[in-house]
Structure 1
Amino acid sequence: MLQRVQTVYMGIAMLVSAFLPFVFKLWKVGNVDFYFMSNIIYAALFGLSATLSLLSIMTYKNRKQQFVLNRLNMILNLILLGLFVYRSLNLSGETPEVSEKGIGMFLPIISIVMLVLANKAIKKDEDLVKSVDRLR
């Protein structure tokens, strides 16, 4: 049952967590671009998020476990987003070296939205199965 719509949403969340951090910078201080690899915590959290999305895709037979894994992934992305917000508030824009925030800081938000949509689709499938079981 890999052709379900929640698999597409979880696949997009996995791509956002696994590949897009290599493309988009998190922030820039002076002439130096900072990507997620500059901090081991960011790299570990992005990697764990991508792994949880892949694991959730592979557990397509157990919808309840998929739902729980997506919830854990959302919590992980909220932690990552919180770290980015904390870091962006500590970046001083008033220094002689002008700092700017990159679009990579918003990647956890995209991942969270995709996971919420996947959980809605999983809930819809679960309700459909329960309604069919009632008719038997």
Structure 2
Amino acid sequence: MIQRIQSIYLLVAGVISGGLTFLFSLWNTTQTNPTTYVIDLFTGNSILEKLVPVSFFISAFISIASVFLFRNRQLQFVMNRLNILINLFLLGILIYLSQTLSGEASVSEKGIGMFFPVIVILLLFLANRAIKKDEDLVKSVDRLR
């Protein structure tokens, strides 16, 4: 299970989505709340702000759960594709929120947390490629029997 490279990719994607979002900020502004973390968005005004942490946690859960689906490669592949779609949706929400910040007239800078969905999408793509390679290998061995 853990010796497969896709398991490593999925674990790293889960750690980034679930753990590192608490350590790194999404954006910094010069207003009263200078640094915004993912957990701060639970108290946001709009539903989109509340959807960001939920999407991060769903992405982390699917990544970790997908590690344990190593016996069913097809389901693992589909779960990773679903996770890629969730992260694309999350990336779109983060881009929208960063463009419509209330204090955008003042100087604001984006944090490293804004790039986490891109990194997770890349890791999930690499995991899907490795899963596809394993599936092709199993199919080629089955043909020889």
Q: Normalising by structure 1, what TM-score?
A: 0.94
Residue in 2 aligned with 1:7? 7
Unaligned runs of 5+ in 2: 42-49
1:62: how far off? Answer: 0.2
Deviates further, 28-37 or 116-125: 28-37
Residue in 2 aligned with 1:62? 72
1:81: how far off? Answer: 0.4
Deviates further, 5-14 or 85-94: 85-94
Unaligned runs of 5+ in 1: none
Q: Distance in 1 between matches of 2:70 and 2:104?
A: 50
Q: What's the C-alpha RMSD, in Å, of the aligned pairs? A: 1.4
Residue in 2 aligned with 1:47? 57
Residue in 2 aligned with 1:71? 81
SS in 2 for 1:24: coil
Counterpart contact for 1:18–1:47, Cα < 8 Å: yes
Q: Distance in 1 between matches of 2:39 and 2:104?
A: 26
- Decide which of 15, 37, 40 is 2:39's aligned counterpart: 37
Please list the CA deviations of residues 33-59 of structure 1 after superposition, one character each: whole Å capped at 9, or x if unmatched: 101112231111111000000110011
Q: Normalising by structure 2, what TM-score?
A: 0.88
1:2: how far off? Answer: 2.9
Task: State the percentage of identical aligned residues.
Answer: 52
Spell out structure 1 runs of 4+ moving beyond 6 A: none
